[in-house]
Amino acid sequence: MVDAELLKKLAEMRDKGQAEPRDALTLFEVYKQIAQEDEEIKEELEDLDTIVVQNNYSDTDFKFWIKLGEGKFEYGEGEAEEPTVTMSATAATWAGLGSGEIDSTSAYMSGDLKIEGNLQDAIAYGEILAMFGDFLEDLEG
């Protein structure tokens, strides 16, 4: 079960409007809990080869990573060892991507989201995040 207090905190952050870079860690903690609960997402993570995504905020000194695949979903602050994909954007772009106000393809094509490494991994990562987002929407009703 996804922690109700975390969901409340996520809703408060969304209502506040101005996201802080560290807010991403709260979102990914919710995603980690969803990954342990939802059978469809569990199955996708089982079928996926390991992807390590480094997320960098280009206008602050904040970085975090996500490791997913082979049945796991992990995240942490700082730099990943051997990322397969590195994504960089401003805090405003990350906030827009996280809230769904900005489309990742559009952000990439406009240069607001820079992607280095395996583009297929970046696409798979985006698809998994969309599944998490759909689950979260259903959960929040």
pLDDT range class, residue 138, cuts 50, 70, 90: confident
Contact 7, 33 (CB under 8 A): no
Q: What is the CATH number of the domain that holds 26?
A: 3.30.1050.10
* Per-residue model confidence (pLDDT) at position 18: 58
Distances (CA, A) of 83 to 11, 34, 51, 77, 107: 30, 23, 8, 14, 21
Q: Say which amino acid occupies 11.
A: A
Look at residue 20 and give its three-state secondary structure: coil
Partnered with residue 25 across adjacent β-strands are none
Residue ranges making up the domain that contains 126: 4-140
- Number of domain units in the chain: 1
Rounded Cα distance between 77 and 63, Å, is: 6
pLDDT band at 101 (very low <50, low <70, confident <90, very high): confident
Q: How far apart are CA 13 and CA 105, in angstroms?
A: 25
pLDDT tens digits, 10-58 = 888 777 765 688 888 998 999 999 999 999 999 999 999 999 999 999 9
d(Cα 74, Cα 52) in Å, to the nearest integer? 9
Distance, CA of 13 to CA of 2 (rounded, Å): 17
